[in-house]
Amino acid sequence: MITPMISTTPQLLRRSIGTVALVAALIGCFAATSPASARVWIGFGFPGMYVGPPAYPYYYPPPAYYPPPASYAPPASYAPQQSYAPPDAGVAPSGSGQICNAGSYTCPMDQPVASGSACYCLGNGGAHMWGHAN
């Protein structure tokens, strides 16, 4: 028959080895906090004599920065002609013409009619909008 002392010794030994391995792994992780320095060397050589590029390559300065201009004017070919004038806002009524006021629509009259008589303007979709002549 196996005594309890013999059965607990292997468990204690396994636990202690596991604890030691865990502590060693944590120490290894925290000890290696410096970045790896990997280098590629191209060349040939024999012990004591090496031929190849220098260990540290030449440092190139950053590219030059040119700020944008203070103001940018487009080329003259894009500018409007000197004789340019904005178009008129609409057909201005002449002094002798009549206007039909049909609610939110206003249109010039084709034929002169008596002031206040019924007239119509063409609305959206060609519908007749009735109003009064001025």
Residues 6 or more apart in contact with residue 105 via CB below 8 angstroms = 121, 123, 129, 131
Instruction: Report DSSP state, residue 78.
Output: G
Instruction: Please give the structure tokens belonging to residue 28.
Output: 């290894």
Confidence (pLDDT) at 130: 93
Decide if pLDDT at 131 tops 90.
yes
State phi, psi for 26 to the nearest 5 degrees: -65, -40
Decide if pLDDT at 94 tops 60.
no
User: Which of the pair, 132 or 28, is modelled with greater confidence?
Assistant: 132
pLDDT band at 117 (very low <50, low <70, confident <90, very high): very high
* Whether 109 contacts 119, CB under 8 Å: yes
Confidence (pLDDT) at 118: 92
* Whether 119 contacts 113, CB under 8 Å: yes
Q: Domain ranges for the chain, please list them.
A: 95-134
